[in-house]
Structure 1
Amino acid sequence: MLISPAMNAALREARFAGDAPLDESGLRQARAAAEAVPDADLILHGPSGRCALTADALGLRSTADNALGDWELGRWTGARLEEVAAREPDEVAAWLADPSATPHGGESLLDLCARAGTWLDSLHDSDAGRVLAVVEPAVVRAALVQALALPPQAFWRLDVAPLTLTEFSGRSGRWNLRCGRPLTAEAAA
């Protein structure tokens, strides 16, 4: 089970987030969602402050897992998408069109999807039981691409709203899913 973290200013501003903290609205929404979080045997969070703070606000005792880190976007980290597109239009176009492109000097979409898929598939061989992780939306999207064996370009067509739950069931090579269940009425709005 993957929960996307609560809202923050970077998300509202369409920034390549980096490690922006939650704002008061995001904290309030996460606290309100705490009762809707399903039980799990192993609880993890991505290494970003946003994921850690969301997990804490949800009342989860979780452990950071670096394999669940956000998409590494190199020199674009922290910048607004519109700023990068104005400054580097050809690079942004290549990045959006070619899943192996890394004009930002970070991780390619293919690498992100492979990383998320490897983590997801590793759960099949573990005895962890029900796993819940608070992870950045890009990681949720990449896991969906891998679990359903979608073409990498499908990543750009998937939206993951803040504080939504995506549930995977089954096993490596044959995942089923339930996508985007809001944890609170406020998150659904």
Structure 2
Amino acid sequence: MTCRVTLVTPAMNDALRRARFDDGTAPLDAGGTAAARAAAGSLPAAARAVVSPGVRCRETATALGLAEAREEAALSGLRVGRWRGLTLDQVGAAEPAAVAGWLADPDAAPHGGEPVRELCLRVGRWLDAVAREDGRVVAVVEPDVVRAAVAHALGAPAAAFWRVDAPPLTATELSGRSGRWNLRSGVPLRGPAAG
């Protein structure tokens, strides 16, 4: 029995462009919506589709033709507490030591939210549960969920979280069984005509 999971990052929006800690309410911008619509039909057929809670993931899923995707709470982005809605530059200027500690220590949560290690564990539990099922799952998820999934799939420490890039509107493919995952990352989504 082999499970295949395709993790798709949301298309571009202002929060992604400005490196702002999203509160889940920021919609896609016009370019992001157009890019996601152009990529519709580029994903493999799946037994089920899921989506991170939040507007940009839901709008990306809809534009990709996954309007029936079910919201999955376990795939929520990293909860950043009082930093929500601020840009990384703003927080870095106001709390440089807190940001440095947060980026260096996966157990740190100076924002009062969720430590990176907890996100990695939460996403890892979801992946382990999905691995017990056969078939393909497509999930439109926040970039930090992709980072956590890759760290888990590779058996990497939580500190590796910051070493994974997850650009907008790309796919990361995991396939595996019995606790062993293979990884294919950074696949750009393109519409069927784009090849």
Aligned to 1:90: 97
Aligned to 1:165: 171
Deviations 1:113-144 (A, max 9, x none): 001100011012235x2111000000000000
SS state of the match for residue 131, structure 1? Answer: strand
Task: Summarize the alignment of residues 26-37 of structure 1 with structure 2, pairs less than 5 Å apart.
Answer: 26-37=32-43
User: In structure 2, which of residues 15, 21, 25 is the aligned counterpart of residue 10 of structure 1?
Assistant: 15
Deviations 1:92-117 (A, max 9, x none): 11101111001000000000000110
| 5+ long unaligned stretches in structure 2 | 1-5
Contact 2:131/2:179 (CA < 8 Å) preserved in 1? no
TM-score (norm 2): 0.91
Is the aligned partner of 1:74 residue 2:77? no
Deviations 1:45-76 (A, max 9, x none): 01111111100011112111111111100000
| Percent of matched pairs sharing the same residue | 56
Separation in structure 1 between the aligned mates of residue 123 and residue 96 of structure 2, nearest angstrom: 28
Separation in structure 2 between the aligned mates of residue 166 and residue 35 of structure 1, nearest angstrom: 16
Separation in structure 2 between the aligned mates of residue 4 and residue 124 of structure 1, nearest angstrom: 20
Contact 2:132/2:177 (CA < 8 Å) preserved in 1? no
How much does 1:172 deviate? 4.6
Contact 1:120/1:172 (CA < 8 Å) preserved in 2? no
Is the aligned partner of 1:39 residue 2:37? no
RMSD between aligned alpha carbons?
1.1
Task: Summarize the alignment of residues 40-189 of structure 1 with structure 2, pairs less than 5 Å apart.
Answer: 40-60=46-66, 61-127=68-134, 129-184=135-190
Q: How many residues align?
A: 184
How much does 1:184 deviate? 2.2
Aligned to 1:21: 27
